[in-house]
Structure 1
Amino acid sequence: MSLITARHPTTTDTDPTDTDTTDTDTDSATTDTETPAPARKLARGAGLGVLLALLATVVWSGSFVATRDMAGAVPPVQAVFWRWIIALLAVAPFAARPFLRQWRTIRRHLGFVTLASLFGVALYNTLVHQAGLTTSATNMGMIMAASPVLMAVYARLGGERLGARRVLGMLTAALGVLLLVGNGSLAVDFAAGDLWMFAAALSFATYSALLKRKPAEIDGLAFLFTTFLLGALMLAPAYAVSLAVQGGFTVGVATAGPLLYVGVFSSAVAFFAWNKAIALIGAARAGVVYYLQPVCVALLSYPLLGERPGALGAACTALILGGVALASATGARKAG
């Protein structure tokens, strides 16, 4: 529905004693055809939301490669714990003051923030790092492409109707994922890493669905800082156990580089961009951009890790991308 309405001049708009009617008519026509400020603001917000979702998607694609690259060198729980410590240090200069200023508001909504921290910070990233031990970065990105379909399921549970097109798209994407992890067969024998990634996709979809209910009075930076802090606290006991049982890891270029990437870029930058994108355009439309992730992961993992997607990977990519695009088409039109 267009937000642009035309004004029609009335007799009160024209002064009969005014002899300079040409300039008046021109100014009136120019004003009439201009896009109203609210419509321009909405358009700019939607464009910014898409760009922020794309930024988060590209950065997260690199995180799968970084996670896979340090798999085996850093125990998963320790990698995730230090990821969030680094992320906290990265956002603290910008977020500490809003966090302290809004502490009372955050405390009123502590149950919601804790749930978001559990699914988006503690669980999701731990599952991703665990998956990196036994599956490829390409598979990780492919399976994560199913998370927007799970977002659609949450939308249905929330009362949103799913049309035939969306259901067909979801089934098509699911077929692509099954063929991928089954190495071209529907008689799927899941690798352990694939199962961990399915769990990670579910956790991320839950987090994204929760973001739609984020209290508006909580500042974005304060919310980000709080979830990082709570997530790190949740992981602290598991980190202590891992340290006692598995020992620490050697800090060097091979471990510090990936940890800095996932801590600063994949956590601080990407999570801020994703949260802002959902606030601007909603989870469904942000999810459309997220479908590009398996393509980005495949493009990055081939030169950096030597993982060749092959013909099967390309075919599964086409099925997943086609399916999730079809699944989101109706919702995207309505959202627009």
Structure 2
Amino acid sequence: MAVTDRARTTSREDRQQTTSSTGRKGAVGLGVLLALLATVVWSGSFVATRGMSGTVPPVQAVFWRWIIAAVAVTPFAARQAWRQRALIREHIGYTSLATLFGVTLYNTIVHQAGLTTSASNMGTIMAASPVIMALYARLGGERLGARRVFGMLLAALGVLLLVGKGSLPLDFGAGDLWMFAAAFSFATYSALLKRKPAEIGGLAFLITTFVLGALMLAPAYAISLHVQGGFEATPATIGPLLYVGVFSSAVAFFSWNKAVSLIGAARAGVVYYLQPVCVAGLGLLLLGERTGPAQLLCMALILGGVALASATRR
């Protein structure tokens, strides 16, 4: 009888372990898909940002981006944010810091870079941010593992070769350097997400950062209006603003934040290496830009590195 009871207990523990393992794999799979969704949507934002570079001043573009984003998420997030207003006030220091790096600085720098570099370069250089995310993760005590490190190095090599058009000696312009600063800002934001208070809901956090981001940009927006004047509201300006406000902000940021909570910034950052591949694909579809054999080889390195680094252990 005792043997039977022990056998039943062992069987039940095995089923629980199997269920727990399946749940972890499901969470990892969902996290990777959400990170991929954010990456694809953000790839389109580089094309939209580049398209606005000659018509909408950077600060004004970013300010209206967050106004549109806040309006877009209000129907879904307002109730949760109101219920959690005391928590938000309690953690306003953390939320403001995350907003500064992920909303205010990052996107303003991206729009500034769009004045002097191509959309393809913007997407490719942003793929450097996973390296910084991994460094933050390691400093935070996370073990990366040899396989993930090797995959990241392989993907990073593909990115460098893609930027250098097949060779490693690189020649960066002013816009490219701005993009490296944007990569650092975004990686810092992603690292901060791991410290988000668990009791603050994802939608409440999202709308709070959008509103804070617009408030932080308001003084610079007023100065830009006074010095540069406003921009003309045409389909060529409103269309890209709606894309970056609704999709690149509301949809992509929610997906990315959820992905980081599920799989961590380092693993989500590995998926972000797909940025140059996505941008190249959009360039081919929307702009007719052709991709040569050398670029295909670089993309294969990036894809292989991402697959290796983001795979789960058996």
Residue 26 of structure 2 corresponds to residue 44 of structure 1: yes
Give 1:58's aligned amino acid: V
Tell me the CA shift for residue 288 of structure 1. 2.7
**Aligned mates of 2:186, 2:117 — CA distance in 1:** 18
Residue 286 of structure 2 corresponds to residue 301 of structure 1: no
**Aligned mates of 1:47, 1:158 — CA distance in 2:** 23
Alpha carbons of structure 1 residues 263 and 135: separation in structure 2 relative to 1, 3 Å: same
**Aligned mates of 1:94, 1:207 — CA distance in 2:** 23
Tell me the CA shift for residue 95 of structure 1. 0.9
Instruction: From 224, 233, 238, give the equivalent of 1:242.
Output: 224
RMSD: 3.1
C-alpha contact (below 8 Å) 1:135/1:193 kept by paired residues: yes
What's the counterpart of residue 285 of structure 1? 267
Identity of aligned residues (%): 73
Residue 118 of structure 2 corresponds to residue 118 of structure 1: no
Alpha carbons of structure 1 residues 316 and 195: separation in structure 2 relative to 1, 3 Å: farther
Tell me the CA shift for residue 65 of structure 1. 1.3
Instruction: From 283, 296, 313, give the equivalent of 1:314.
Output: 296
Instruction: From 197, 200, 203, give the equivalent of 2:185.
Output: 203
Instruction: From 56, 71, 81, give the equivalent of 1:89.
Output: 71
Tell me the CA shift for residue 131 of structure 1. 1.4
Tell me the CA shift for residue 307 of structure 1. 3.3
Instruction: From 244, 251, 254, give the equivalent of 1:269.
Output: 251
Q: Alignment partner of 2:264: what SS? A: helix
TM-score by length of 2: 0.87
| Structure 1 residue runs without a partner (length 5+) | 1-7, 15-24
Alignment of 1:51-70 (within 5 A): 51-70=33-52
C-alpha contact (below 8 Å) 1:149/1:324 kept by paired residues: no
Alpha carbons of structure 1 residues 193 and 176: separation in structure 2 relative to 1, 3 Å: farther
Tell me the CA shift for residue 216 of structure 1. 0.3
Give 2:25's aligned amino acid: A
TM-score by length of 1: 0.82
Instruction: From 175, 179, 194, give the equivalent of 2:176.
Output: 194
Tell me the CA shift for residue 219 of structure 1. 0.6
Alpha carbons of structure 1 residues 150 and 325: separation in structure 2 relative to 1, 3 Å: farther
Give 1:222's aligned amino acid: A
Larger Rg: 1
How many pairs align?
Answer: 313
What's the counterpart of residue 106 of structure 1? 88
Alpha carbons of structure 1 residues 314 and 198: separation in structure 2 relative to 1, 3 Å: farther
